[in-house]
């Protein structure tokens, strides 16, 4: 594989841009190709079969673009499609998901305590966080809860807003989500409301989001496979969506400092 080839990243919407922004900050020499499957957002409400189908088609697109690595920057897709994507890609590119690095972090940083997980219905139903964290550290309690309103709310730009505060309070006030040491944001959209969630817990609970943890994990994997960019001049990042949305383009400046140019790519005819 060519070390100067791009890194492919995909999600169902803008959420994966939180991870893409962290990767850009950590590895500024790398070129990114991002695909937001806005035509099928949110993945968390789709069947596992549908999510696998979308993920495989997007992976084929990213391979066609010559990507040396594919990051599944979506918890729902990571939970139900990672194995299939990795098998399909084979040795053509490195494949990384956003769940394993978070589980490893939680299992090694906490002992005999409670770590909550919030995410989409697909992610929570898979029990992937519970199974992987408990396998690594059986002493941890891992209460989890589906929070299906959060991703659409964020996608539409309703964060740092009275609406988001009300929804967050409604979800997190349940009895089984009390006495936590940490809360895992099991959706790449959720870092956009990290500040509000931290304030809800009065900064007494660590809020674990995937962006920086996954970026450092990807950096290690690229280094291990001798795939880090050589440092030669790279081309600009490229951004694709399956269905153009104004909110996607409007929100992009939160991650990249300026508006990005979106190209609509119809993969699902």
Q: What is the pTM of this model?
A: 0.92
Catalytic residue numbers, as ranges: 74, 187
Helices (H), the chain: 16-26, 48-64, 75-89, 100-109, 121-126, 128-136, 150-155, 162-172, 194-200, 210-224, 246-251, 253-256
End-to-end CA distance of the chain: 30
- The side-by-side arrangement of strands in the sheet containing 262-264 is 94-97, 69-72, 7-11, 32-36, 238-241, 262-264
Q: With contact defined as beta carbons under 8 Å apart, do 71 and 96 qualify?
A: yes
The pLDDT tens digits for 138-187 are 999 999 999 999 988 888 877 777 888 999 999 999 888 889 999 999 99
In this structure, of 59-73, 151-165, 192-206, 214-228, the range with the lowest mean pLDDT score is 151-165
* CA gap 254, 194 in Å, rounded: 14
Instruction: Give CA–CA dist 229/27, Å, rounded.
Output: 9
Numbers of helices and strands, H then E, in the chain? 12, 10
pLDDT digits (tens, 9 = 90+) for 94-106: 999 999 999 999 9
Calculate helix-pair angle for 100-109, 210-224, nearest 10 degrees.
Answer: 110
Domains and CATH numbers, the chain: 7-97+212-264 (3.40.50.1860), 100-209 (3.40.50.1860)
- Radius of gyration of the chain from Cα atoms? 18
Q: Which two tokens stand for residue 120?
A: 């989409």
pLDDT for 74 equals: 95
The model's pLDDT over 77-92, given as tens digits with 9 standing for 90+, comes to 999 999 999 999 999 9
Q: Where on the phi/psi map is residue 238: left (φ > 0), alpha (ψ -120 to 50), or beta?
A: beta
Q: Which pLDDT score, from 0 to 100, does residue 256 have?
A: 64
Task: Encode pLDDT of 2-57 as tens digits.
Answer: 899 999 999 998 889 889 999 999 999 999 999 999 999 889 889 999 999 999 99
């Amino acid at each position: 594989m060519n070390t100067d080839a791009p890194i492919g990243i995909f999600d169902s919407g803008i959420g994966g841009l939180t991870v893409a922004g962290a990767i850009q900050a950590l590895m500024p020499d790398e070129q990114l190709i991002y695909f937001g499957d806005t035509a099928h957002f949110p993945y968390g409400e789709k069947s596992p079969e549908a999510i696998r189908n979308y993920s495989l088609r997007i992976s084929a697109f990213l391979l066609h673009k010559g990507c040396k690595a594919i990051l599944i920057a979506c918890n729902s897709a990571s939970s139900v499609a990672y194995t299939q994507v990795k098998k399909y890609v084979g040795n053509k590119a490195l494949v990384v998901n956003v769940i394993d690095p978070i589980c490893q972090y939680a299992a090694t940083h906490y002992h005999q305590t409670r770590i909550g997980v919030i995410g989409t219905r697909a992610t929570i139903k898979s029990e992937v966080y519970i199974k992987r964290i408990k396998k690594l550290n059986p002493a941890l309690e891992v209460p989890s809860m589906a929070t299906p309103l959060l991703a659409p709310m964020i996608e539409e730009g309703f964060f740092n807003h009275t609406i988001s505060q009300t929804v967050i309070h409604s979800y997190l006030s349940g009895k089984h989500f009390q006495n936590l040491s940490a809360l895992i944001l099991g959706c790449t959209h959720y870092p956009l409301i990290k500040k509000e969630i931290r304030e809800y817990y009065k900064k007494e609970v660590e809020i674990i989001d995937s962006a920086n943890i996954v970026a450092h994990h990807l950096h290690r994997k690229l280094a291990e496979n001798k795939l880090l960019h050589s440092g030669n001049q790279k081309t600009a990042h490229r951004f694709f969506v399956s269905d153009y949305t104004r909110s996607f383009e409007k929100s992009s400046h939160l991650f990249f400092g300026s508006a990005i140019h979106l190209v609509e790519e119809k993969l699902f005819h």
